[in-house]
Amino acid sequence: MIGTIVAQASASLRVLKTGYRNDSWLGRLGFYAALVLTMVVALFPFYVMLVTSLSPDDAIYSSDPSLLPEAVTLSHYTVLFGSETFAFTSYFLNSAIVASVTASFSLVVGVIGAYSFTRLTFPGNGFVRRGVVVVYMLSSITVIVPLFQVIATLGLVDTRLSLFITYTVSTLPLTLYMLWNYFESLPVEIEEAAMLDGYSRLETIFQIVVPLSLPVLVAAFLFAFKIAWNEYIFASVFLKSQAKLTLPIGIEQMNANFQNVWGQVMAASFLTTLPIIIMFLYLEQYMVEGLTAGGVEG
Amino acid sequence: MPYNPSQSEQPANHTGSPHSRAPASEDDASQSVEATRVALSALTKRFDDVVAVDSIDLEVNPGELLVLLGPSGCGKTTTLRMIAGLEAISDGVVEIGGEDVTRTTPQERDVAMVFQSYALYPHKTVRENIEFPLKKLSLTDDEMAERVTETASLLDIDDLLGKQPSALSGGQRQRVAVGRALARQPSVLLMDEPLSNLDAKLAVTTRSELRDLQQRLGITTVYVTHDQEEAMSIADRIAVMNQGRIEQIGSPREVYQEPRSEFIATFLGDPSMNVFDADGPATPLRRTLTETAPTATARVGIRPEGGYLLGDDGPIGTPATAVTEAVQCTVTVVEPIGRAYEITLRAGDQQFVIRTRTRPEWVEADADVQVVFGQSEITFFDETGRRIEDG
Amino acid sequence: MVELKLEDVTKRYDDAQGTETAVDGVSLVAEDELVVLLGPSGCGKTTTLRMIAGLESVTSGRIRIEGEDVTDRHPSDRSIAMVFQDYGLYRTMSVGENIGYGLKHSTDLSARERRNKVDAMAAKFGIEDLLDRDVAELSGGQKQRVALGRAMVREPDVFLLDEPLASLDAKLRSEMRTELQQLQAEMDITTVYVTHDQKEAMTMADRIAILDDGVLQQSGSPEAVYRNPASRFVADFLGNPPMNQIEVVAAPCGDPDRLALRCVVNGESVTLLTVARDDQSLSPGDEVVLGMRPETLSVTSPPAEGPGFEAIVAMTEYQGNDNFVHLRLGEMEFTAVVPPSSQPASGEPCRVTVDPQEIYLFDSESGDAIRTAGESMIDRTLASESSS
């Protein structure tokens, strides 16, 4: 990431200096060198994770670790799915449910909220908007105790609902922020045209604003999903029963309750990362920019 | 006396109107709809403490094309948006077809609007753009398809129906925007500077096409522009706006020839009317122009086409009336605009422009020439800027 | 005395669809004059300007300022200043800072000297009272003046303007046009001005260069290009309303010394006018395009007997100082410009005549001019130039 930025910056600097793009081989070399460096730094942990999950135990605990696996085994994966000891499948399902529901909630509330922030004038609009940003700055650890009291009072301890609520609330600021920035860039005339064409505000939101915002909606969904999928603190405090645990808690318990399960932990971690990557690769096609091209002139 | 537009005649269709058109072919008539009247009374818009539109009274006759003309910030677009229902109305009443719509939403007003930016739905094809307003009309699929075809052929965009707006040129987008507005056959058509994003060249041809279309459909239209040439070419009547008020309403000819104020006199016409202070050193130019001035005159104006070069055989061109005495001037600049010449002249320390159809060879920079003015083309304004009318 | 010279300047873009030539071998010289690059959108005029500025690389060809090759120089090393359509002001700075910014970075002037220059420039543009204001508070016309001031304060050798008036009100535009012209004349600076507005071009230019599809079509003084267009495109582009162009056939007529130019209206052949036979490079049977400037047509309604042809008045556009009469001849439409006092009624027939001296003829295939109304004028100009 940082390397890409550096490379971009050096490219822009060159454009600034020469007035236009005039790619020399030296410039290109610098760009690719920076790119490779970034890739190595960013991808190395994933590589280690993958290699460890595929290595037999004796290789993992060897006193002479090697970067290249000498033998490959899927035994850690079979243990995850095969044995009754690890409820990996159940953790995975729990996480999937919690993350999808949260991301969807967050998106629906976010669309309506961001729309009203950007398109309607009401007293306190600016105040609430600033509030949203401030809330996002707060760390979840600082509110965990009062939040637990609220959840306990509502009788929601050890329910999925407790996570739906707290995750939606904690992802909402980001969703709102992303959406309202995007909505502000949408030309209002397009919505006005729809209203003059006989469509109500709600219809306009869902038939015009939502389709035009697809890239940012997908991105916001991904972010919310990722946050909920990886969240640890709330889940560890609110959930009690094994059957409801999500992946981060599950994996942590696995590590805490058993000895020498590095291989399984890495396999589980790898499988935890996988859905996010697959989702990203699939949804990326919807995140193309420039959906509004051709709508308005000037 | 404040100007009261309701007293003005309704010259939209008086005989010999410059715009009354030759009867068009038969099939055009099928398009026409019952035309609707739009009336604004004491319409006001305040933004916090700024009055953007200040108690406007205006009546748009059925089937008429009325242009709201004025400089930027004069309140013309705000007025249009209040008619559309896109802007909350601070005070006053909007009536469409005799019905008070002041508090209704845009959806309930049966008006269509062509936006300056066109505001096409970028994620929909041209066909879907045109269908979008039709979906609210409970038409059968066949009727809908027919309407789309009809609209497309009306605007000559048949070939574009399958395309995305991003694949269209500016001129084509403009047509699609007009098509989308007309497909629903709304009772009132609103246009907000629909030509300002087109090339100068294209704007001129599109202008007469729009006018032609509007007349064939007979749809009541309110059209906003800052371009006086566009306004005069296209309008049945022009309402000239300045600082949130309507200064004058009338046919292009009335507004041009009998402006009520110096603002209107100088806003309409290209090149602008030359205006001088009536008081000051008695230069030959000032003496000549103020010879017949009424006592209240503070400023005196002469349109560029009211000045004539004096040749060997008298004035060049055809002054409609008697002319003044000749004034000695020096040519500063000669600008050809193709169909005419704009000649900037200096008399003493005063500069002015005249416009001529032909240019004698001896007219070039630094040449000394004699200029006369059409007696009846000299316009007088009082201290408040109002034109002093004859008699 | 600064000479800007473009030698065979070409710009190609490579993209997925292949190579696109935006500017194709444009050669042009400008010396202490205002040259207008005129053309429809996408004709390559802005790209040409940006290449002169150094904001766009040149694929082939050279750009020279005062004989020096600046083709590969950075914009700041070319002694040029540019004003953009959207003004391109620095939003976070005051008006004074905007104007002084370039001086600070490209010269060694002291703060006091810079301040003096900024004040002088502000006075020139009548914005001395605005120097401490924020750019955001200004009106369009004021922003335009600030942009001009900022460009001029560095005393560039070449001044580039990219549709500087396009975002202004029509009224303000004509005021600014006059101001710009006077300024350019006063400072006597080599200026290249891009616009798509033919009227702006006609009134402002010392010389017009018309581009179409990346190719320079013609360049010359506004009047010469107007009266003596090289092609149908140029003839159509200059002039409002545009030139009427009709396909005609030359045919013999009663007079053996003359040829009739005829076209087909509703299946019948109609004579539009007759021209002297020896005057033209025309023979009977030739198919050519007849061009008639709207202001050279005269319209009499009701039609009287006489030369010319009969047409129907479709509608009249009132312009204050002119009337544009739209006429219909069968399926063909054309326009005449008449004095505002003449107001033929719509739907009525009228007689249209044109002076044979005032017509234009174009090759019907290539569109090149065969004869123009300006030929006699050109002769005259040349004669007067050689005598002086």
pLDDT tens figures, A203-247: 999 999 999 998 899 999 999 999 999 999 999 999 988 888 899
Interface of B with C in 306-365 (CB under 8 A): 318, 320, 333, 335-340, 342, 355, 357, 361
CA distance B341 to B359: 7
Res. C112: pLDDT tops 50 = yes
- Per DSSP, the residues of B140-183 read -HHHHHHHHHHHHHHTT-GGGTTS-GGGS-HHHHHHHHHHHHHH
Name which of C317, C357, C358 to mutate to probe chain B: the one with the most chain B Cβ atoms within 10 A of its Cβ: C317
Give all chains having 3 or more CB-to-CB distances under 8 Å with chain B: A, C
Res. C219: pLDDT tops 60 = yes
Predicted confidence band of residue C142 (pLDDT cuts 50, 70, 90): confident
Q: List the structure tokens of B86.
A: 């896109």
Query: Which among C238, C315, C318 has the least Cβ separation from residue B252?
Result: C318
Res. C246: pLDDT tops 90 = yes
- Smallest Cα distance from A19 to chain C, Å: 6
Chain pair B-C, CB pairs under 8 angstroms: 136
CA distance B372 to B284: 11
Contacts of B208 in chain C (CB under 8 A): 315, 317, 326
Query: Which among A17, A19, A22 has the least Cβ separation from residue C55?
Result: A19
CA distance A106 to A176: 9
Residue of higher predicted confidence among A79 and B84: B84
- Smallest Cα distance from B123 to chain A, Å: 7
Query: What are C174-188's pLDDT values in tens digits?
Result: 888 888 888 888 888
What's residue C303's pLDDT? Answer: 82
C119 at A interface, C-beta within 8 A: no
The class of domain B274-381 in CATH terms is mainly beta
Residue of C nearest to B252 (CA): C318
Radius of gyration from C-alpha coordinates of chain A: 24
Contacts of A292 in chain B (CB under 8 A): 122
Residues near B158 by Cβ (< 8 Å), separated by ≥ 6?
B149, B152
> Cβ–Cβ contacts within 10 Å for residue B367, how many?
15
**CB distance A195–B184 less than 8 Å?**
no
Handedness of CA C196, C202, C203, C206 (dihedral sign): positive
**CB distance C55–A20 less than 8 Å?**
yes
- Smallest Cα distance from B33 to chain A, Å: 18
Name which of B87, B109, B115 to mutate to probe chain A: the one with the most chain A Cβ atoms within 10 A of its Cβ: B115
Average pLDDT value over all residues in chain C: 88
Contacts of A21 in chain C (CB under 8 A): 57
Residue type, C349: P
**CB distance B115–A189 less than 8 Å?**
yes
Name which of B201, B204, B364 to mutate to probe chain C: the one with the most chain C Cβ atoms within 10 A of its Cβ: B201
C41 at B interface, C-beta within 8 A: yes
**CB distance C315–B20 less than 8 Å?**
yes
Give all strands of the β-sheet with B341-347 in edge-to-edge order: B314-315, B307-311, B368-373, B327-336, B341-347, B350-356
Contacts of B71 in chain C (CB under 8 A): 169, 171-172
- Per DSSP, the residues of A160-203 read HHHHHHHHHHHHHHHHHHHHHHHHHHS-HHHHHHHHHTT--HHH
The helix (H) or strand (E) run that includes residue C268 is: strand C268-276
C196 at B interface, C-beta within 8 A: yes
Q: List the structure tokens of A96.
A: 């999937």
Query: Which among A208, A211, A296 has the least Cβ separation from residue B117?
Result: A296
**CB distance B136–A195 less than 8 Å?**
no
CA distance C345 to C302: 9
B305 at C interface, C-beta within 8 A: yes
Q: List the structure tokens of C106.
A: 């490209």
**CB distance C56–A20 less than 8 Å?**
yes
Nearest CA to A288 out of A227, A205, A214, A198 is that of: A214
How far from A286 is each of A100, A211, A280, B217, C201, CA to CA, in Å?
18, 11, 10, 42, 45
**CB distance C199–B20 less than 8 Å?**
no
| Locus of tokens 């309202």 | A180
| Domain spans in chain B, listed from the N-terminal domain onward | 26-110+186-266, 274-381
What's residue C181's pLDDT? Answer: 83
- Smallest Cα distance from A286 to chain C, Å: 21
What's residue B24's pLDDT? Answer: 40
- Smallest Cα distance from A18 to chain C, Å: 5
- Smallest Cα distance from B133 to chain C, Å: 31
CA distance A243 to B217: 70
Given a cut of 70, the residues of chain B with pLDDT beneath it are: 1-33, 390-391
Name the percent of chain C lying above pLDDT 70: 95
Nearest CA to B273 out of B299, B298, B302 is that of: B302
CA distance A151 to A135: 19
What's residue C255's pLDDT? Answer: 84
Query: Which among A208, A297, A298 has the least Cβ separation from residue B121?
Result: A208
Question: CB–CB of B343/B360 below 8 Å?
Answer: no
Question: Strands C258-265, C268-276: parallel, antiparallel or unpaired by DSSP?
Answer: antiparallel
Residue type, B90: S
Give all chains having 3 or more CB-to-CB distances under 8 Å with chain A: B, C
Residues near B240 by Cβ (< 8 Å), separated by ≥ 6?
B69, B70, B246, B247, B248, B249, B255, B263, B264, B267, B268
- Smallest Cα distance from B117 to chain A, Å: 5
**CB distance C170–B271 less than 8 Å?**
no
Res. C360: pLDDT tops 90 = yes
C45 at B interface, C-beta within 8 A: no
Predicted confidence band of residue A6 (pLDDT cuts 50, 70, 90): low
Residues C178, C182, C183, C189: what is their CA dihedral angle, to the nearest 10 degrees?
120
Predicted confidence band of residue A10 (pLDDT cuts 50, 70, 90): low
The class of domain B26-110+186-266 in CATH terms is alpha beta
CA distance C298 to C304: 12
- Per DSSP, the residues of chain A read -HHHHHHHHHHHHHHHHHSS----HHHHHHHHHHHHHHHHHHHHHHHHHHHHHHS-HHHHT-SS--SS-SS---HHHHHHHH-SS--HHHHHHHHHHHHHHHHHHHHHHHHHHHHHHHH---TTHHHHHHHHHHHHHS-HHHHHHHHHHHHHHTT-TTSHHHHHHHHHHHHHHHHHHHHHHHHHHS-HHHHHHHHHTT--HHHHIIIIIHHHTHHHHHHHHHHHHHHHHH--HHHHHH--SGGG--HHHHHHHHHHHSSS-HHHHHHHHHHHHHHHHHHHHHHGGGG-S-TTTTTS--
What's residue B263's pLDDT? Answer: 96
**CB distance B121–A296 less than 8 Å?**
no
Res. C383: pLDDT tops 80 = no
What's residue B2's pLDDT? Answer: 40
Give all strands of the β-sheet with B91-96 in edge-to-edge order: B50-60, B38-47, B91-96, B99-100
Residues near C269 by Cβ (< 8 Å), separated by ≥ 6?
C249, C251, C262, C263
| Locus of tokens 């070939």 | B159
Name the percent of chain C lying above pLDDT 90: 46
Res. A287: pLDDT tops 80 = no
Interface of C with B in 271-290 (CB under 8 A): none
Contacts of A291 in chain B (CB under 8 A): 122-123
**CB distance B338–C238 less than 8 Å?**
yes
Domains and CATH numbers, chain A: 2-73 (no CATH), 88-286 (1.10.3720.10)
Q: List the structure tokens of B116.
A: 């300056």
What's residue B49's pLDDT? Answer: 86
C105 at A interface, C-beta within 8 A: no
Name which of A18, A22, A23, A297 to mutate to probe chain C: the one with the most chain C Cβ atoms within 10 A of its Cβ: A18
Query: What are C271-318's pLDDT values in tens digits?
Result: 999 888 865 568 888 899 999 999 999 999 888 888 889 999 998 899
Mean pLDDT of A86-99: 90
**CB distance C74–A22 less than 8 Å?**
no
What's residue A3's pLDDT? Answer: 58
What's residue A63's pLDDT? Answer: 75
Question: CB–CB of B40/B225 below 8 Å?
Answer: no
Residue of higher predicted confidence among A12 and B119: B119
How far from B348 is each of B280, B284, B300, B330, C234, CA to CA, in Å?
13, 8, 17, 9, 40
CA distance B206 to B197: 12
**CB distance A18–C56 less than 8 Å?**
no
Question: CB–CB of C7/C61 below 8 Å?
Answer: yes
CA distance C43 to C218: 13
* pTM for the whole structure: 0.86
- Smallest Cα distance from A126 to chain C, Å: 21
Contacts of A119 in chain B (CB under 8 A): none
What's residue A149's pLDDT? Answer: 92
Residues near A254 by Cβ (< 8 Å), separated by ≥ 6?
A86, A261, A264, A265, A268
Residue of B nearest to C314 (CA): B22
CA distance B264 to B242: 9
Contacts of C326 in chain B (CB under 8 A): 208
Predicted confidence band of residue C386 (pLDDT cuts 50, 70, 90): very low
Mean pLDDT of C136-141: 84
Chain B residues within 8 A (CB-CB) of chain A?
84-86, 105-107, 111-113, 115-123, 132-133, 136-137, 164-168, 170, 173, 180, 184, 196-197
**CB distance B303–C321 less than 8 Å?**
yes
Name the percent of chain A lying above pLDDT 70: 87
- Smallest Cα distance from B263 to chain A, Å: 29
